[in-house]
Structure 1
């Protein structure tokens, strides 16, 4: 199992205009993040879950969960992904997960609640926080191999409060030691490194 969580600091938690994804809290970044997490040529990674934390309204945070195992009808373009996120934001949500379309769920969870929920389910052996000053991610992946939840911020990173929450749940701060990369670019590299490990293990 691979998990990818991105924190959208200004991402709107209500239906938004698909013709202006950047103007709705940089929802375009989150849609690209989903695409690079899930899609391969002519298919979807069924062993991946993606979490989108929408903090555009701090008094009413929402989390979208997308399960590669069950998602249907999603295409890799930003508009298609944004449309499915919009559907999730239109339904009545609770503190638990409510399914909007196959494989896509929405909940009233902030970061603390989300990480508690993930840790309770024990889907992942460990959590890794992507930050530019972290240790080389290749060394970390070779040690941990799989069943990792990777956490990153959008173009704004994480604020102090959310970073404290993350660091209360993990000591693993990792980085891709090259130039400063966008969140979706980091996910491409992580998937490549994990794919390579799996191929060599066969």
Structure 2
């Protein structure tokens, strides 16, 4: 199973945001929705071996985590609004400490960054990390930040985590996921140049 977790530092934690203003009222939910699409979409199919966690840290709080699981995912279309509608529906559910399904393959629970770090052995995607193309083996779980850098508190929590880079330039989070999945596909298929 390949896993991606994206920290949405300002992403809304309630479903009251407007689907017409994902960058504003939803706290840059547009960035997270692009990450969902990059994690799952192939031409005419979805990746069923991927999970994507959205760690929502914005208003009104407290933190929540929305999980998209490719093995059960339904009703996702390749546009930001579709992804955001599924997030919005998940956030409308009363949630507790365990994941609760809102639609097939989409789950929500209370808790965020610290809790997820305790559950999944992540590597961090970082421009200064080891080149993924030079790494002999790749981890299966990766942590990314949205359009903002990790906070100093988050950096303290992940200081000892392995770090990988997809290239010499800073990319958007969704583009980073695409490049990384391409590298994984190439290795899995034996199609390495």
Which TM-score tier does this pair reach, normalised by the shorter chain? Answer: over 0.9
- The whole-number CA distance in structure 2 between the counterparts of 1:68 and 1:21 is 23
Q: CA RMSD in A?
A: 1.5
Give the total of aligned pairs.
189
Which stretches of structure 1, 4 residues or more, deviate above 4 A after TM superposition? Answer: none
Which of 99, 106, 121 is equivalent to 2:108? 106
* Aligned twin of 2:137: 143
Which stretch has the larger CA shift, 174-183 or 100-109? 174-183
5+ residue gaps, structure 1, are 119-125
Q: How is 1:14-53 mapped onto 2 (pairs within 5 angstroms)? A: 14-15=14-15, 16-23=17-24, 24-53=26-55
SS in 1 for 2:88: helix
User: What is the TM-score normalised by the length of structure 1?
Assistant: 0.89
Q: Which residue of 2 aligns with 1:152?
A: 144
Q: Name the SS of the counterpart of 1:138 in structure 2.
A: coil
| Cross-structure match for 1:127 | 122
State the partner residue of 1:97.
Answer: 99
Task: Point out the structure with the larger helix share.
Answer: 1
